[in-house]
Amino acid sequence: MALVRGCNFPDDLYYDVEDNVWARLEADGNIAIGMTSQGCALSGEIVAWTAKKVGRVVDQHKSTGTVESGKWVGPVKAPVGGEIVAVNEAAVAIPSTINADPYGAGWLLKLKPADWERDAPALLSGAAAAEAFEAKMQAEGFAGCA
């Protein structure tokens, strides 16, 4: 696992660095997505997660739903395009789960990818992701995750 300025980035995930979201290819071919630890730190304590409905098709880099914290309301963008097949109802019910475990119990939703082979090359993983997050944090003046 990469650790960049106190933020964890598991090596087995794919990252959309610009949008601070991750993707994990599941055994069934679906893609689990969520916010990165940096995204959670930037947002502050998340108080609401409102996902688009199951069955909705979203394009890559478009909103899958909205997170709300005490200091920010904004979209969670799709790292890949596809159809929403599941929403993490536990994260809807207890949004603080997203901050507490962004790569585990705090996943946000699952997509059936429209074209994983087309969209995946835009995502980074491992050392390439860590380097990109470090550069992004440097450029944005981000001190780090608590």
Alpha-carbon separation of residue 97 from 24, 34, 43, 103, 109 (angstroms)? 18, 11, 14, 10, 13
Which band of pLDDT confidence, cut at 50, 70 and 90, is reported for residue 2? Answer: confident
Query: Does 42 score more than 90 pLDDT?
Result: yes
Residues 6+ apart with CB under 8 A from 40: 46, 98, 99, 102, 106, 145
Q: pLDDT per residue over 9-36, tens digit each?
A: 999 999 999 999 999 999 999 999 999 9
Residue 141 inside a domain? The answer is no
Query: Pseudo-torsion of CA 103, 134, 64, 54, nearest 10°?
Result: -30
Query: What CATH number does the domain containing 74 carry?
Result: 2.40.50.100
Q: pLDDT per residue over 59-82, tens digit each?
A: 999 999 999 998 889 999 999 999
Query: Does 48 score more than 90 pLDDT?
Result: yes
Q: What is the pLDDT of residue 146?
A: 74
127 vs 146, more confident: 127
Residue 2 inside a domain? The answer is no
Residue 13 inside a domain? The answer is yes
Task: State which residues form the domain around 45.
Answer: 9-118
- Asked whether 36 and 99 are in contact (CB, 8 A), the reply is no
Alpha-carbon separation of residue 45 from 15, 73, 93 (angstroms)? 22, 11, 14
Q: pLDDT per residue over 87-123, tens digit each?
A: 999 999 999 999 999 999 999 999 999 999 999 999 9
Residue 134 inside a domain? The answer is no
Confidence (pTM): 0.95
Q: What is the pLDDT of residue 1?
A: 85
Residue 95 inside a domain? The answer is yes
- Tokens 């409102």 belong to which residue? 50
